[in-house]
Amino acid sequence: MLTVHHLRISQSERIVWLCEELGLTYALTLYNRREDNRMAPDEYKALHPMGIAPVIEDDGMVLGESGAICEYIDRKYGGSRLSPGPDDADFAGHLFWFHFSNATFMTNGMMALAAQAAGAAEMPPFVADRGAKGWQLAEARLGEAHYFGGRNLTLADIMMGFSLTTSRAFNGMSLEPFPNIAAYLQRIGQRPAYQAAMAKAEPGMAPMLS
């Protein structure tokens, strides 16, 4: 049995959404963040040596890291239907956004949070510049394609979604300068699988789609 361990308000929501998009039968275990420091509780940290979300278990195998988990589930249980093959016109675009999501886009946001936590009076210019370029690139992509993955929803969208939605709970960023992203999130919010995933992963919390 596939078990998804979801830390509330974290990127592990991606895995819940993926399982719903694929129509999988899976077990979901929810973990609340600690009250004192908003970090993962000890029982979540004990699941994997890195002690961070997401984590899945599958017949005794424990796996962490969003991208690895997405590929594992899509290949093993989804017939790779959310991963365009090399003969697909969207192959390169899907690969770029799938890897860009955590390697660059989310990393930009984490650098900004780290600067704030370190007491920086203002954002270091290179951090602000990288962050702005990432959002501009995402806005441009959604002006030319219906999804980050291209014509159809792919794992690239599963990966990018968290940084555009729930992640903004940490910085309060407005989508007003990004109409293409805002329109895209409205499309995502209409997907039954996304609605089901968020109801299960974040009960009582309205998805941050605007």
pLDDT band at 41 (very low <50, low <70, confident <90, very high): very high
Please check whether the domain covering 91-191 is classified as CATH 3.40.50.2300.
Answer: no
Distance CA 175, CA 150 (A): 21
Query: Regarding beta strands 2-7 and 27-31, do their DSSP bridges make them parallel or antiparallel, or are they unpaired?
Result: parallel
Question: Using a CB cutoff of 8 Å and minimum separation of 24, what contacts does 113-117 make?
Answer: 113/170, 113/171
Least confident window among 15-19, 29-33, 88-92, 119-123: 119-123
CATH 3.40.30.10 positions along the chain are: 2-82+194-201
Q: How many CA atoms lie within 13 A of 140 on its CB side?
A: 8
Which is nearest to 11 in space by CA: 57, 52, 63? 52
Q: Is 184 helix (H, G, I), strand (E, B) or coil?
A: helix
Please check whether the domain covering 2-82+194-201 is classified as CATH 3.40.30.10.
Answer: yes
pLDDT in tens, 42-65: 999 999 999 999 999 999 999 999
What is the pTM (predicted TM-score) of this model?
0.93
Per-residue confidence (pLDDT) for residue 111, from 0 to 100: 64
Per-residue confidence (pLDDT) for residue 53, from 0 to 100: 96
pLDDT in tens, 86-107: 999 999 999 999 999 999 998 8
Mean pLDDT, range 181-203, rounded to an integer: 98
Per-residue confidence (pLDDT) for residue 168, from 0 to 100: 86
Per-residue confidence (pLDDT) for residue 106, from 0 to 100: 80
CATH 1.20.1050.10 positions along the chain are: 91-191
